Structure 1
C-alpha cells in the first residue's frame, strides 16, 4: 500500500511555525487595542464637551458629570479605556489623571 499523509515530524514543524506566528501577532494586537481605546477616549471627551455646552445653554450653569448622566446627555462617565472623565470649574472636560 502506498498511503500518502503527514508524518509526525511534519505535523510538529507546522505546529511550531503556527506557534511562532501567534507569538509575533498577539502582542501587536494588544498594543493596537490600547491605542484604539485611547483614541476612543479622546472622541468621548469631545462628545462630553459638546454635551456640557448643550447643558450650559439650556440651564445657564456648568453641569457635573452626574447631572449630565441624570439628564440623559451621556450614558456613562467612563472612557473606552476604563478611565473616568471630569469637568473642571470652567466647563472643560478631561480624562481623570491627565
Structure 2
C-alpha cells in the first residue's frame, strides 16, 4: 500500500507548512545566489501590512471629515472605496502571515 496523502487545498496543491517556507519553495532558482554576498530577498508582507493600515486610517479619516463639511459627497465615496480596498488587502496580508509566509 502507499503512504496516506496530506490533505489538499482548494487550489489542488498540498498545504505548505512553516518549514516549507523556511527551506524555500520548489522550482525557485536564484541566478544571483552566492554572488556578492547579498542577502536573499524577503517578502515585504510587514511593509505591506503597515502601508495598508496607514491607507485605511487616512482614507477613513479623510472621508469622515469630508462628509461633515459642505463639500460634494462623491470624493468621500471614493475615499470609502479606497478604505475598503485597504481593508481587503489587510485581510489578505494577515492570512498570509498566519500561514507562516516570511516577511
Higher RCO (CA-CA < 8 Å; seq separation 6+): 2
Larger helix proportion of the pair: 1
TM bracket, shorter-chain basis: 0.3 to 0.5
Which TM-score applies when normalising by structure 2? 0.34
